[in-house]
Amino acid sequence: MARQEKPVDVVLVGLGWTNSIMGMELAQEGLNVLALERGEDRDTVPDFAYPKMADELTYGVRYKLMAKPAKSTITVRHSLTETALPYRHLGSFLPGDGVGGAGTHWNGHTWRPMPEELRLRSYVEETFGKDIIPADMTIQDFGVSYDELEPHFDFFDKVMGVSGKAGNVNGEIHEGGNPFEGRRSSEYPLPPLKRTFNDELFTNVAKEHGLHPFPLPSSNASEAYTNPYGMQLGPCNFCGFCERYGCLNFSKASPQTCILGALKQHKNFSYRANSEVLKVELADDKKTAKGVTYIDKNGEEVFQPAKIVIVGTFAYNNVRLLLLSGIGQPYDPVTNTGTVGRNYAYQMMGGATLFFKDKFFNPFIGAGSNATTVDDYAINQIDFAKEGFIGGSYLLAAQTNGQPIRSMPLPAGTPSWGAGWKKATKDYYGHSMSISSHGSNMSYRDCYLSLDPNYTDDHGLPLLRLTFDWKDNDIRMTQFMKGKVEALAKGLNPDHLNISFKDFGAKYDVRPYQTTHNVGGAIMGTNPKTSVLNRYQQSWDVHNVFVLGSSSFPQNLQYNPTMLVGGLAYWTAKAIREQYLKQPGPLVQA
Amino acid sequence: MDSRPDDSRRRFMKGAMWVISASTLGTGVMMAPTANAAPSLTEYKPVFFTPDEWAFVLAACERLIPADETGPSALDANVPIFIDRQMLGDFGQASDWYMKGPFMEGPAELGFQSPLTPAQTYQKGIAATNTYCRQTFSKSFAELSPEQQDQLLTQLQHNELKFDGVSAKQFFDFLLQNTKEGYFADPIHGGNKNMEPWKMIGFPGARASYLEWAELHNVKYPMGPVSLNGDRG
């Protein structure tokens, strides 16, 4: 029999970016808000303090801040007929846990989606015709427009203190920014970061090719800054310990640095760490939730009553919680019925490493978002009918770190050990830069999430199963980008050039790190037959359950997801504050 | 290409060095130059490996990163001490990994599927390699010539030796990964003795403060490394 806690107005499941935002918005509304976080409590001091953060082995290689597969993992298979096997140690993607979630150990790349990406199926059909969409490709519109989200993007920019150069302010194109981006209502709150040597080389070659280079929008603060919540950021000092690390310098935007310090001042907000939610408990009619059941830090089962449940954990964990709770109908790819688990998507990356014997890059002088980019091959710039694929990439020359265990690029053909390997590390460390492609991934009928029949967690509950593999459409996209990247790289005349892009027949591989931008499975949309959530990220089936995060995306962006995840959280918060609290019930009639 | 800074830049760099040193000193790091002297490999008593296993680890590390004029060897850098210490820690014990069954083989792309922890993989891998060496050469791995050792390591790497109950390739992969980790990880973990591997490549370790340097393009950063303990290389 579970112990029962005192009821609250709102229970937040998870305490990363989305539920920090939601906590602030609903605490401001005067509601009694409680967050339950599966992992440990974390703050800049003492958890991210110098010098202990500058430890590549502990954080960069052994993943101290990430979710532990021993406690929580998924299983993976390539197709419907295979047996899925557990993702036993981390590689391909690195979910966070603990207070702040993945928002503590990200790099800070802060892109808005393109307006066209939020209505992708409509954009493709209107522009190129329905026929170019492959039969098994299940791309959809989000059901919310860029213009509706723009005020929230603008505010989240200011909360995070994003450093960058706008390319489109109220429809006016500005030199030095991204000319292809959606309309912004204001310039970035902070100017771009300082430019490192790789930025200079990439900018020059991109301009020679007629492209439009600009600084990557960065949530690594370029100057001292105070955000709308009164939280203070310090200027980034290019320490080179961003991705996989908490920021030791109060410079990288995170829930801790931007929201939680202010949120904790609200007496009607509280949180409990080491509290793992196992289930959202439904009323008998299955139309509303009563609260959640969780395991507390002592291993005791607790029922937490609440009037509203906001699920804001890492993307695929949201999907698992819905499946374990019986919210919505599980998706079946064979009959193409049900919705929960549908439209999982990942991202398609590729890259080139350029080696220059006589150039010094000092790669340890880095920041997570220290990069120059071009968006000339974005989704709204490519003729899909002509090129034969749907999708796009931005290209970037980034210098994020020079940590030598995991950031030791060597020319292709170098021995992996012995005297030749050692000599190459001495000759080439610090003498290379990269140009990468960060691309979209479309959704497909047979790429989805479900409960695994064979493997369980410590509580005996089934793990989540991912069925996913690469499709030719997305391979054609990355091969197109390969040509563009190769031309730019050769334009810089490197002494050696390594090129790595996926080719036809490539299988999804869980071993090398690719990106943590997993999306879908609990997608938003306009039709309850093809989406789990309505346009306000509210469950179609259980109206007092809202689900936040990139699990809402019907297909993946070509960009990093945090800005869209945060913008959607503010959009949902506004709907709850202005509509739902006055009249609880479905915000959209099915 | 002439990468030497001009006079004004050199003056700036001298100033910047002073600024960085002062700020690094000011962050609470102990800077005693003689603190935390690394142990001598010959006097180190392994906490995990048996004498036979230890002899193997020493010999294998010496081949994976050998001694020559380029820079420190794995043995110079105390890499075996690092590996020994890792075995009883979270890595060796696979504490963070999902180690529940059933264990099944699958496509390589689905990743690690062994029921053995890294520590068990070392134990079984070393024993199997030594058994193979004794059957083939009447010597243990550590007693073979460097050329024979290289040949054996190459066979392990390419999974050309089939052992009962352990994958030769998985064993080699852990060994190589851990050797490189011990070479380049902060000395606090037992390897990277005196930060010599960092000095060889020019990595400044835990300095973690370079704002003044970001816009100095194509100039070699001149400062030596510091460690998490505040030692200077």
Q: Report d(CA A99, CA A42) in Å as an integer.
A: 5
Q: Chain A contacts of B176, Cβ < 8 Å?
A: 416-417
Q: Report d(CA A511, CA A516) in Å as an integer.
A: 13
- Pick B186's closest partner by Cβ from A57, A78, A194: A57
Cα B90 versus chain centre, distance: 16
Q: Report d(CA A200, CA A205) in Å as an integer.
A: 9
Q: How far is B177 from chain A (nearest CA, A)?
A: 9
* Cis before A95? omega within 30: no
CB contact under 8 A, B66 and A248: no
Q: Does the annotation count A212 as an active-site position?
A: no
Q: Which residues contact A110 (CB under 8 A, 6 or more apart)?
A: A157, A160, A162, A164, A217, A218, A219, A253, A369, A560, A562, A563
Residue B137 lies in a domain: yes
Q: Show the tokens assigned to A127.
A: 């522009």
Give kind and range of the element (H or E) at residue A305: strand A301-311
3-state secondary structure of B120: helix
State the pLDDT at residue A506. 98
Residue A434: closest CA among A209, A198, A109: A198
CB contact under 8 A, A422 and B70: yes
Q: Show the tokens assigned to A88.
A: 């036993």
Q: Show the tokens assigned to B11.
A: 């003056």
State the pLDDT at residue A411. 98
Q: Which residues contact A505 (CB under 8 A, 6 or more apart)?
A: none
- Pick A69's closest partner by Cβ from B65, B98, B230: B98
Q: Which residues contact B43 (CB under 8 A, 6 or more apart)?
A: none
Q: Chain B contacts of A416, Cβ < 8 Å?
A: 157, 176
Residue A539: closest CA among A556, A519, A522, A551: A522
Q: Which residue of A has its CA nearest to B206?
A: A54
Q: Which residues contact A20 (CB under 8 A, 6 or more apart)?
A: A100, A103, A255, A258, A259, A260, A263
CB contact under 8 A, B221 and A362: yes
Q: Show the tokens assigned to A254.
A: 């995170």
Residue A342: closest CA among A206, A138, A196, A507: A138
Q: Which residue of B has its CA nearest to A92?
A: B111
Q: What's the mean pLDDT in B62-70?
A: 98
Pairing of strands A168-169, A172-173: antiparallel
Q: Report d(CA A494, CA A487) in Å as an integer.
A: 12
Residue of B211, B219, B220 best to disrupt the A interface, most CBs of A under 10 A: B211
Can you give the residue range of the structural domain that contains B187?
A: 33-213
> Residue A480 phi/psi, 5° resolution?
-60, -45
Q: Chain B contacts of A52, Cβ < 8 Å?
A: 228
- Pick A50's closest partner by Cβ from B208, B214, B218: B208
Helices and strands: H and E segment counts in chain A: 13, 22
- Pick B66's closest partner by Cβ from A70, A360, A418: A418
Q: Show the tokens assigned to A89.
A: 């140690």
3-state secondary structure of A103: helix
Q: What's the mean pLDDT in A12-38?
A: 98
Q: Report d(CA A346, CA A469) in Å as an integer.
A: 10
Which sign, positive or negative, has the C-alpha torsion B207, B211, B217, B222?
negative
pLDDT at residue B30 is higher than 50: no
Q: How far is A546 from chain B (nearest CA, A)?
A: 30
pLDDT at residue A3 is higher than 80: yes
CB A93 within 8 A of CB A560: no
pLDDT at residue A505 is higher than 50: yes
Q: Chain A contacts of B63, Cβ < 8 Å?
A: 417-418
CB contact under 8 A, B65 and A417: yes
Under the banding of pLDDT at 50, 70 and 90, the label for residue A1 is: low
Residue B48 lies in a domain: yes
CB contact under 8 A, A89 and B98: yes
Query: b/e map of A182-213 (b: 16 or more CB within 10 Å)?
Result: bebeeebbbebbbbbbbbebbbebbeeeebbb
State the pLDDT at residue B36. 55
Q: Report d(CA B91, CA B103) in Å as an integer.
A: 19
Residue of A362, A426, A457 best to disrupt the B interface, most CBs of B under 10 A: A362
CB contact under 8 A, B213 and A365: yes
- Tell me the per-residue pLDDT of B177-209, one tens digit each, with 9 for 90 and over: 999 999 999 999 999 999 999 999 999 999 999
CB contact under 8 A, B184 and A405: yes
Give kind and range of the element (H or E) at residue A496: strand A496-501
pLDDT at residue B222 is higher than 70: yes
CB contact under 8 A, B112 and A88: yes
State the pLDDT at residue B1. 39
Query: b/e map of A20-44 (b: 16 or more CB within 10 Å)?
Result: bbbbbbbbebebbbbbbbbbeebbb
CB contact under 8 A, B208 and A425: no
Q: How far is A201 from chain B (nearest CA, A)?
A: 10
- Pick B98's closest partner by Cβ from A86, A360, A507: A86
* Cis before A46? omega within 30: yes
Q: Report d(CA A513, CA B174) in Å as an integer.
A: 17
- Residue A166: count other Cβ atoms within 10 Å of its Cβ: 22
- Tell me the per-residue pLDDT of A464-495, one tens digit each, with 9 for 90 and over: 999 999 999 999 999 999 999 999 999 999 99
Residue B164 lies in a domain: yes
Residue A315: closest CA among A156, A108, A564, A95: A95
State the pLDDT at residue B38. 84
- Pick B98's closest partner by Cβ from A88, A238, A370: A88
CB contact under 8 A, B68 and A419: yes
Number of compact structural domains in chain B: 1
- Tell me the per-residue pLDDT of A532-590, one tens digit each, with 9 for 90 and over: 999 999 999 999 999 999 999 999 999 999 999 999 999 999 999 999 999 999 999 98
CB contact under 8 A, B96 and A193: no
Q: How far is B196 from chain A (nearest CA, A)?
A: 12
Residue B136 lies in a domain: yes
Q: How far is B159 from chain A (nearest CA, A)?
A: 15
CB contact under 8 A, B27 and A56: no
3-state secondary structure of A232: strand
pLDDT at residue A135 is higher than 60: yes
Instruction: Tell me how many degrees the CA angle B230-A361-A254 measures, rounded to the nearest 5.
Output: 65
pLDDT at residue A234 is higher than 80: yes
pLDDT at residue A163 is higher than 70: yes
Q: What's the mean pLDDT in A397-424?
A: 98
pTM: 0.95
- Residue B232: count other Cβ atoms within 10 Å of its Cβ: 15
Q: Show the tokens assigned to B18.
A: 């002073």
3-state secondary structure of A320: helix
Q: Chain A contacts of B201, Cβ < 8 Å?
A: 404, 425-426, 429-430
Q: Report d(CA A483, CA A501) in Å as an integer.
A: 10
A340 DSSP 8-state letter? B
Pairing of strands A393-398, A432-439: antiparallel
Q: Which residues contact A284 (CB under 8 A, 6 or more apart)?
A: none
pLDDT at residue B9 is higher than 80: no
State the pLDDT at residue B12. 40
- Pick B184's closest partner by Cβ from A200, A404, A421: A404
**Tokens 């699920």, residue located:** A311
Q: Report d(CA B2, CA B67) in Å as an integer.
A: 32
Q: Which residue of A has its CA nearest to B112?
A: A88
What percent of chain A clears pLDDT 70, i.e. is strictly above it?
A: 100
pLDDT at residue B19 is higher than 60: no
CB A376 within 8 A of CB A211: yes
Residue A230: closest CA among A192, A194, A266: A266
Q: Which residue did the predictor score with more confidence, A43 or A2? A: A43
Q: Chain A contacts of B184, Cβ < 8 Å?
A: 56, 404-405, 408
Q: Which residue of A has its CA nearest to B65?
A: A418
> Residue A308 phi/psi, 5° resolution?
-130, 135
CB contact under 8 A, A88 and B186: no
Q: Chain B contacts of A200, Cβ < 8 Å?
A: 217
3-state secondary structure of A180: coil
CB contact under 8 A, A454 and B102: yes
Residue B220 lies in a domain: no
CB A402 within 8 A of CB A366: yes
- Pick A85's closest partner by Cβ from B96, B106, B150: B106
CB contact under 8 A, A56 and B217: no
Q: Report d(CA A212, CA A94) in Å as an integer.
A: 32
Q: Which residue of B has its CA nearest to A193?
A: B214
What percent of chain A clears pLDDT 90, i.e. is strictly above it?
A: 99
Q: Chain B contacts of A357, Cβ < 8 Å?
A: none
Cα atoms in the Cβ-side hemisphere of radius 13 Å centred on A463:
24
Q: Tell which phi-psi region holds residue A586, choosing left (phi > 0), alpha (psi between -120 and 50) or beta.
A: beta
Residue A350: closest CA among A393, A400, A398, A399: A393
State the pLDDT at residue A115. 98
CB A295 within 8 A of CB A459: yes
> Residue A422 phi/psi, 5° resolution?
-60, -45
CB contact under 8 A, A73 and B98: yes
Instruction: Count interface pairs A-B at CB distance under 8 A.
Output: 193
Residue of A93, A203, A425 best to disrupt the B interface, most CBs of B under 10 A: A425
Q: Which residue of B has its CA nearest to A406?
A: B181
Under the banding of pLDDT at 50, 70 and 90, the label for residue B37 is: confident
- Pick A426's closest partner by Cβ from B108, B153, B200: B200
Q: Chain A contacts of B207, Cβ < 8 Å?
A: 54, 364
pLDDT at residue B17 is higher than 60: no
Q: Report d(CA B6, CA A183) in Å as an integer.
A: 44
CB A539 within 8 A of CB A327: yes
Residue B127 lies in a domain: yes
CB B155 within 8 A of CB B120: no
Q: Report d(CA A311, CA A324) in Å as an integer.
A: 13
Of the candidates A152, A212, A496, A517, the residue annotated as catalytic is A517
CB contact under 8 A, B65 and A362: no
Q: Report d(CA B166, CA B123) in Å as an integer.
A: 10
Q: Report d(CA B156, CA A509) in Å as an integer.
A: 23
Q: Which residue of B has its CA nearest to A85?
A: B110
